[in-house]
Amino acid sequence: MSSLLKDAYLTISSPSSGIYTEKGSKFLSFAFHVETREEAQTLVSAHRKEYYDARHVCYAYMLGPGREEFRSVDDGEPSGTAGRPILGQINSNNLTDVLVIVVRYFGGTKLGVSGLIRAYKTAAAAAIDSANIEERTIDDVVTLTFAYPLLNQVMRVVKEVEPAIVRQDFEMECLMVLRIRKACTNALLGKLEKIREVKVTVSD
């Protein structure tokens, strides 16, 4: 897997699932793209309701392009044997904005600490392996306001740098809203600075 620039991250684009069985226990795994803690909790609650007869519903998530918010939950399994191995699979794939849930149906035979860790790790890996992993960029939103006579100069810069045009209104006072990969923002701003009387604001 190629190394990522600081303005890019990996996530999954759509839900996926997997399954692992060990000594009669069945581990159903599910991976989802989520962007907030609330989204993750809603999905966990829905799975607890759907798989109400399961012994454990364990999960882990990682959030944010900077991978700054995460959580792992063992849901009654011995500490560190479920949530942490699930989170470990998210980390080993360099993923973020991802929730992985593993539902366990107990098969009557205890697996022991090492067996549980292996089972939850393998189940989580199965869901991630079947997911479509994609690279997304961290973008800036650049808003431009300028007088209509400057339009040709501004459009020349936009053609050169090729940001995405989110919105444009061309009246006597023109407005353009652009979305551009963070690594390219300075190049865009540098060219716009050469056009006098263009007002520029940048936001995430």
Tens of pLDDT, residues 158-186: 999 999 999 999 988 999 999 999 989 99
pLDDT score of 1 more than 60 = no
Q: 197 forms bridges with which residues in the sheet?
A: none
> Which pLDDT value is given to residue 54?
96
> Which pLDDT value is given to residue 6?
74
CA distance 146 to 29: 53
Judge contact between 89 and 70, C-beta under 8 A. Answer: no
End-to-end, the C-alpha distance of the chain in Å comes to 27
Please enumerate in sequence order all residues whose Cβ is within 8 A of that of 64, keeping only pairs 6 or more positions apart, or say none.
96, 97
> Which pLDDT value is given to residue 203?
87
* Local confidence band at 27 (pLDDT 50, 70, 90 cut-offs): very high
> Which pLDDT value is given to residue 3?
43
Judge contact between 70 and 87, C-beta under 8 A. Answer: yes
Query: For residue 150, what are the CA distances in angstroms to 10, 146, 165?
Result: 39, 7, 17
Strand order in the sheet with 164-170: 164-170, 173-181, 139-147, 199-203
> Which pLDDT value is given to residue 172?
84
Percent helix, percent strand, percent coil in the chain, to nearest 5: 35, 40, 30
CA distance 76 to 87: 17
Residue 8 tokens, joined: 């890019």
Least confident piece of the model among 25-29, 64-68, 70-74, 162-166: 64-68
Helices (H), the chain: 37-50, 83-92, 112-129, 151-161, 182-192
CA distance 40 to 63: 10
Taking residues 20-29, what's their average pLDDT? Answer: 96
> Which pLDDT value is given to residue 171?
85
% of the chain surpassing 90 pLDDT: 88
Judge contact between 133 and 11, C-beta under 8 A. Answer: yes
* Local confidence band at 7 (pLDDT 50, 70, 90 cut-offs): confident
Provide the 10 A C-beta neighbour count for residue 24: 11
> Which pLDDT value is given to residue 5?
54
Residues 149-158: tens digit of each pLDDT: 999 999 999 9
Provide the 10 A C-beta neighbour count for residue 127: 27
Taking residues 68-77, what's their average pLDDT? Answer: 96
